Amino acid sequence: MRRAVFLDRDGVINAMVLHPEFGIVDSPANPDEVVLLPQVGEAIAELNRAGFVLLVISNQPGIAKGKFTKRLLAAIQLKILAEIENAGGKIDQIYNCLHHPNAVIEELSVRCQCRKPKPGLLHEAAHEWQIDLESSYMVGDGIHDILAGQAAGTKTLLVSAQKCYVCESLNTHEARPDFIVTSLHEAAGVILALEDGNREFAERFAYRCEFALAKS
């Protein structure tokens, strides 16, 4: 059985996009908006060298909402993959949930099992790649990523710029990340420390809700 690192995409691999005219932050809607976050390619390369399968697990409802097309999504993904490869890393496969319960495209207006926080895509990927989920990791920047990882049985790492910022929401949704980190690069460091048996280093990033709330 293989080990995998499952990655959310937006906010973990690439930066979100500010649309000041609408006052919102959203996923890239075209390749020109794709910007990798710092040291992402290097982090993925380190995980590649450690023998992990690298799989992206992403909710991408933009097509369902009429914001962009399948062709644009494919172009966005090609740019992300190319920039990661230019930095020495490799994503083995991307899994997208295209559904949304409020979709404007009827065939995508589905309450599915693949949209996070449901673990459907992780189970699909685990089946196709013969992944041992208990020996694998889910890295994401949202509560739904953590819940999906928990449901699938992986260890979970939350990427959050402010460690205390989402503690109350995590509690509300009973999401319990094993670790909180500030970037994918830091997440890779924690994962590699765990694999090397260096619990002392990894424990610096352990999620301790009571401590975090007391300091927030």
Question: Is position 10 annotated as part of the catalytic site?
Answer: yes
Q: Is 141 a catalytic residue?
A: no
pLDDT category at 18 given cuts 50, 70, 90 is confident
How many helices (H) and strands (E) in the chain?
8, 8
Which of the four pLDDT bands, split at 50, 70 and 90, describes residue 164? low
Quote the mean pLDDT of the chain.
89
The per-residue pLDDT for 213 is 44
Homologous superfamily assigned to 4-215: HAD superfamily/HAD-like (3.40.50.1000)
- Over range 86-110, report the average pLDDT: 84
The yes-or-no verdict on residue 130 having pLDDT over 80 is: yes
List, in order, residues 6 or more apart from 203 with CB less than 8 Å away.
Answer: none
For range 109-126, the mean pLDDT = 93
pLDDT tens digits, 47-59: 999 999 999 999 9
Question: Averaged over 100-106, what is the pLDDT?
Answer: 71
Q: Prior bond to 38 cis, omega within 30?
A: no
Catalytic residue among 10, 141, 145, 178: 10
Tokens matching residue 114: 């693949």
List 8, 141, 145, 178, catalytic entry: 8
Higher-confidence position of 103 and 123: 123
Q: What span, in angstroms and rounded, lies between the C-alpha atoms of 153 and 33?
A: 34
pLDDT tens figures, 67-79: 788 899 999 999 9
Contact (CB, 8 A) for 122 and 57: yes
Domain boundaries in the chain? 4-215
pTM of the predicted protein model: 0.91
Average pLDDT of the segment spanning 34-62? 96
pLDDT(99) > 90: no
Q: How large a percentage of the chain has pLDDT more than 90?
A: 69
Asked which of 32-36, 60-64, 140-144, 211-215 is least confident by mean pLDDT, the reply is 211-215
Q: SS3 of 161, please?
A: coil
User: How far is the CA of 27 from the CAs of 41, 45, 103, 115, 128, in angstroms?
Assistant: 19, 24, 16, 16, 27
